[in-house]
């Protein structure tokens, strides 16, 4: 026989043998088919229910975030006469009611979700709210649970925020040594700018303790990390690095005025907002306000005209993560 005929003959014999085996063992085969079908249906049901649960948890988490960022006092927002847009945030009578509502919603998600991603993020939000309430021990415990979660092992942003929260809570509790240890661990998170943030927090504690040389060393290290992150080949930094850049420069200027000159064209977010309110916000008063970009440009020009020696603004205080 030719090669093609040999192959065809082999296939025919194999097919016939397989058919005979299936007929002889059909009872066993049908149970395997049934088990596979049941498994597929069970997996589909599980996937559907898991998806619905994730959607529900995501919606609840969004509601908790909205409660935390809600407005305090005042009536429902009226549409802007020029743009037609209105502030759709929820409104609470007092700040205490707003924080309490956010805490309850975050806590409900955290307790219901076990170790899910939504539960971990809810714990992170809960920790921030507890810190704002002055419940530093509870905040520290919540931040610690996030730090030890599987999500923190996969997401550098979650780990960094949790570590900063642990350090800030310990500092507020008066345990400066433990806080410095937490900030030291944060400085080893070489992603998203958290390394520089950890070094900055360490420098704050060292400067407060009177260790100016150590503080200067840490701030110099933080500045180098931020400069490297600004380069095109550098790693992605933590959001907009402007605030941290300014904080590092201002503290370094306080530690050693000769090490760096205070930035002549930089103001903190609170200072910018206050100045804008005094001059009128854009779109108000007939559109005569001034934008943040225009403010910075004016400050830059003022710094040049004054020989680059404007009065130094104090370093912005640390806030809750």
CATH of the domain at 138: 1.25.40.10
Mean pLDDT of the chain: 76
Place of tokens 């760096």: 260
What pLDDT, on the 0 to 100 scale, is given for residue 19? 73
E strand or H helix at 40: helix 26-68
47 occurs within a structural domain: no
CA atoms of 226 and 161, how far apart (whole Å) = 18
Place of tokens 């037609």: 84
What pLDDT, on the 0 to 100 scale, is given for residue 319? 45
149 occurs within a structural domain: yes
Q: Look at the pTM and tell me if it is higher than 0.85.
A: no
Please check whether residues 59 and 167 belong to one and the same domain.
yes
Give me the torsion for CA of 202, 204, 206, 209, rounded to 10°.
-140
CA atoms of 54 and 127, how far apart (whole Å) = 21
CA atoms of 286 and 28, how far apart (whole Å) = 83
Which residues of the chain fall below pLDDT 70?
A: 1-10, 46-54, 57, 74-77, 113-115, 230-241, 260-321
3 occurs within a structural domain: no
Query: CA torsion sign, 193 to 106 to 132 to 76?
Result: positive
Domain's final residue, options 105, 138, 173: 173
Domain's final residue, options 120, 146, 173: 173
What pLDDT, on the 0 to 100 scale, is given for residue 138? 95
Q: Are 159 and 147 in contact (CB under 8 A)?
A: yes
Nearest CA-CA partner of 120 in 133, 106, 132: 106
What pLDDT, on the 0 to 100 scale, is given for residue 288? 46
Query: 97 — phi, psi (to 5°)?
Result: -65, -40
Please check whether residues 165 and 270 belong to one and the same domain.
no
What pLDDT, on the 0 to 100 scale, is given for residue 183? 95
Q: Is 180 exposed, middle or buried (0-12, 13-18, 19+ CB in 10 A)?
A: buried
Q: 3-state class of 282 per DSSP?
A: coil
What pLDDT, on the 0 to 100 scale, is given for residue 228? 80
127 occurs within a structural domain: yes
154 occurs within a structural domain: yes
142 occurs within a structural domain: yes
Domain's final residue, options 146, 173, 200: 173
What pLDDT, on the 0 to 100 scale, is given for residue 156? 92
E strand or H helix at 292: helix 292-305
Task: Return the structure tokens found at 119.
Answer: 């539960």
CA atoms of 269 and 159, how far apart (whole Å) = 26
What pLDDT, on the 0 to 100 scale, is given for residue 162? 95
CA atoms of 27 and 128, how far apart (whole Å) = 61
CA atoms of 60 and 106, how far apart (whole Å) = 8
Q: How many helices (H) and strands (E) does the chain have?
A: 13, 2
50 occurs within a structural domain: no
How many structural domains are present in the chain? Answer: 2
Domain that holds residue 60: 55-73+90-173
What pLDDT, on the 0 to 100 scale, is given for residue 309? 41
Query: CA torsion sign, 313 to 318 to 319 to 321?
Result: positive
């Amino acid at each position: 026989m030719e090669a093609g005929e040999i192959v065809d003959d082999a296939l025919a014999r194999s097919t016939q043998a397989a058919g005979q085996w299936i007929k002889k063992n059909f009872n066993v085969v049908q149970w395997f088919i049934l088990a596979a079908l049941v498994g597929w249906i069970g997996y589909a049901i599980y996937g559907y229910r898991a998806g619905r649960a994730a959607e529900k948890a995501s919606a609840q988490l969004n509601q908790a975030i909205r409660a935390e960022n809600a407005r305090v006092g005042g009536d429902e927002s009226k549409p802007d006469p020029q743009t037609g847009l209105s502030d759709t945030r929820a409104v609470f009578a007092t700040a205490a009611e707003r924080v309490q509502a956010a805490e309850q919603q975050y806590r409900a998600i955290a307790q219901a979700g076990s170790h899910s991603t939504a539960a971990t993020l809810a714990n992170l939000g809960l920790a921030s709210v507890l810190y704002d309430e002055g419940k530093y021990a509870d905040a520290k415990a919540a931040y610690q649970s996030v730090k030890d979660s599987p999500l923190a092992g996969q997401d550098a942003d979650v780990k960094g925020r949790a570590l900063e929260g642990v350090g800030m809570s310990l500092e507020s509790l008066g345990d400066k040594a433990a806080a410095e240890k937490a900030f030291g661990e944060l400085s080893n998170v070489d992603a998203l700018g958290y390394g520089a943030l950890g070094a900055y927090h360490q420098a704050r504690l060292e400067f407060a303790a009177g260790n100016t040389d150590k503080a200067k060393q840490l701030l110099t290290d933080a500045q180098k990390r931020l400069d490297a992150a600004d380069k095109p080949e550098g790693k992605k930094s933590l959001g907009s690095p402007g605030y941290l850049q300014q904080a590092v420069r201002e503290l370094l200027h306080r530690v050693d005025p000769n090490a760096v000159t205070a930035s002549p064209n930089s103001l903190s977010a609170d200072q910018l907002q206050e100045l804008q309110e005094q001059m009128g916000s854009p779109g108000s008063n007939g559109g005569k306000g001034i934008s943040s970009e225009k403010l910075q440009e004016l400050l830059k020009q003022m710094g040049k005209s004054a020989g680059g020696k404007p009065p130094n603004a104090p370093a912005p205080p640390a806030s809750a993560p």
